[in-house]
């Protein structure tokens, strides 16, 4: 087997199919929308909003946008994975020397290729899904909190006790967890902002594996 043949064999055997990408898109969109809904409803309950806000659901437009976003994410993941497969094959071929890649001793070479791929794939599966899940749920939650604050700014979120628009001066937003090892998040983590400063706060998560999120609180 030549290095090129190995490369195309690995790509056809291990890359994600269109069906895999569709399944991944659905799962990502669902994770995003569920997180969005949970963040909106949790905030609505903190500000003592009426039942309709506590049972808020994303609009059809938001669902379409989530699907669009998820589809781009899924394609991006498939690309990253394909790039990594290519890199592993190159590494294995280099380790074995170029001329040796025209393998006379197929069984031995195939074993080492399989071992190399297995290690690479399990390493990828160890960190990538975690990173993607964090980015997906974090972005959904951030957008859910954005949607609630925007509705409050429009005066359409009603206080369950007074049946008037929620008094925004009674509430603020904080960024949790309060500590941060990243320079970007250090500027906001643990601080409390007035709701009229909300739009100045950075989008979260702000970086790979960023644990930060916004939480509406009483002040």
> What's the rounded Cα separation, in Å, for the pair 83 and 88?
9
> What's the rounded Cα separation, in Å, for the pair 128 and 85?
14
201 lies in the site for Zn ion, by CB under 5 A: no
The residues in 177-196 that bind Zn ion, with binding defined as CB under 5 A, are 185
Query: Which region, judged by CB under 5 A, interacts with Zn ion, from 76-84, 122-130, 140-148, 209-217?
Result: 209-217
Cβ 208 to Zn ion shortest distance, Å? 10
Contact 173, 43 (CB under 8 A): no
Cβ 139 to Zn ion shortest distance, Å? 13
Could you say which of 16, 34, 210, 217 contacts Zn ion (CB under 5 A)?
210
Cβ 65 to Zn ion shortest distance, Å? 23
- Cis peptide upstream of residue 177 (ω within 30 degrees of 0): yes
212 lies in the site for Zn ion, by CB under 5 A: yes
CB nearer Zn ion, residue 5 or residue 179: 179
CB nearer Zn ion, residue 43 or residue 138: 138
Burial 80-111 (b: 16+ CB within 10 A, else e): ebeebbeebbeebbeebeeeebebeeeeebee
Cβ 132 to Zn ion shortest distance, Å? 16
CB nearer Zn ion, residue 18 or residue 183: 183
Give the x/- contact pattern for Zn ion in 126-165, rule: CB under 5 A. ----------------------------------------
CB nearer Zn ion, residue 55 or residue 179: 179
**The tokens of 90 are what?**
């190159």
21 lies in the site for Zn ion, by CB under 5 A: no
Contact 70, 90 (CB under 8 A): no
Angle between helices 60-96 and 3-14 (to 10 degrees): 150
Q: Whose structure tokens read 């916004």?
A: 214
**The tokens of 166 are what?**
């929620």
Cβ 188 to Zn ion shortest distance, Å? 8
């Amino acid at each position: 087997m030549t290095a090129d043949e190995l490369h195309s064999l690995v790509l056809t055997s291990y890359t994600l199919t269109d069906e895999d990408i569709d399944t991944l898109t659905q799962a990502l969109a669902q994770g995003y929308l569920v997180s969005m809904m949970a963040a909106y409803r949790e905030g609505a309950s903190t500000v003592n909003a009426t039942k309709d806000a506590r049972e808020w659901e994303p609009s059809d437009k938001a669902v379409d946008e989530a699907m669009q976003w998820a589809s781009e994410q899924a394609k991006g993941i498939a690309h990253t994975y394909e790039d990594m497969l290519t890199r592993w094959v190159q590494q294995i071929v280099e380790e074995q020397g170029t001329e040796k890649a025209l393998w006379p001793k197929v069984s031995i070479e195939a074993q080492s290729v399989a071992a190399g791929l297995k290690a690479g794939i399990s390493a990828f599966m160890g960190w990538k899904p975690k990173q993607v899940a964090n980015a997906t749920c974090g972005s959904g939650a951030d957008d859910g909190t954005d949607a609630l604050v925007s509705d409050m700014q429009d005066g359409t979120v009603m206080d369950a006790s007074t049946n008037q628009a929620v008094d925004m001066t009674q509430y603020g937003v904080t960024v949790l967890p309060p500590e941060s090892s990243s320079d970007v998040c250090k500027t906001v983590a643990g601080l409390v902002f007035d709701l009229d400063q909300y739009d100045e706060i950075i989008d979260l998560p702000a970086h790979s594996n960023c644990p930060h999120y916004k939480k509406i609180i009483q002040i």
